Structure 1
Amino acid sequence: MAAKKKTGYIERFLKKADKAIDDGIKRADEALEDAVEFSEMAASQAKKTSDQLSKKALKEKEKIKSRGIKKINEGVTSAKKLTSNSEEDLQMLEKLGKLRKAGVLTEKEFQEKKKKILARI
């Protein structure tokens, strides 16, 4: 009878051990499924955020490009104005020189005008 008792005890112990192992495997499978689901959600969110940031970066790029072109155009316009003003000033000096030679302007008047014109160039 003692042998029967031990056999029943071992069988019950093994059944409990098998059940515990099965429960552990079941919990591990559930945890794995949750991890896969969360990783899919994280990947989806990361892609969405990446797409949003890419769109925002493209908009910023266009704004910066537009501002850059505007500033370049302003610079070109200013340079053209300076160049044309310098040419006009040089022509004015020539005319003043002719007026001085013709006696219309005194040397003092010529020098005053010349000083103002040269200060602008």
Structure 2
Amino acid sequence: MATKKKTGYIERFLKKADKAIDEGIKRADEALEDAVEFGEMAASQAKKASEELTKKALKEKEQIKLKGVKKINEGITAAKNATSKSEEDLITLEKLGKLRKAGVLTEKEFQEKKKKILSRI
């Protein structure tokens, strides 16, 4: 008779253990489902944030590009103006030299004008 009690006890213990294992598996499955759901939500939010940042970066890229083109054009214009002014100054010097040779300008007047023009070049 002692063996029947032990067998009944072991069977109850095993049933309780099986029930605990089943509950543990059930809880683990629920936790896994929650984790998958949260993971999907996080991925969706990350994708949305990535798309927004990409749009913002493209807008900023275009703005920077436009500013760069504007600055380059300003530089080209300034270089052209500086070159044309230098050429004009050299032509003016030649004319002043001719006027000096013709006696229209004195040596002193010529030197003053020459000094002023050369300071700009």
* 1:26 alignment partner in structure 2: 26
Residues 60-113 of structure 1: CA deviation (Å, up to 9, x unaligned)? 110110000000010111111111111111111111111101111100110010
C-alpha distance in 2 between matches for 1:80 and 1:4: 111
Residues 12-54 of structure 1: CA deviation (Å, up to 9, x unaligned)? 1111001000011001101111111111111111111111111
* 1:120 alignment partner in structure 2: 120
* 1:12 alignment partner in structure 2: 12
* 2:77 alignment partner in structure 1: 77
* 1:101 alignment partner in structure 2: 101
Return the offset for 1:6. Answer: 1.7
C-alpha distance in 1 between matches for 2:98 and 2:3: 139
C-alpha distance in 1 between matches for 2:5 and 2:80: 110
Which residue identity is paired with 1:46? A
Return the offset for 1:5. Answer: 1.7
Runs of 4+ with >2 A deviation: 1-4
Return the offset for 1:3. Answer: 2.5
What secondary structure does 2:104 align onto? coil
C-alpha distance in 1 between matches for 2:97 and 2:14: 121
* 2:60 alignment partner in structure 1: 60
C-alpha distance in 1 between matches for 2:88 and 2:6: 120
Identity of aligned residues (%): 84
Tell me the matched-pair count: 121
CA RMSD of superposed structures (Å): 0.9
C-alpha distance in 2 between matches for 1:3 and 1:62: 86
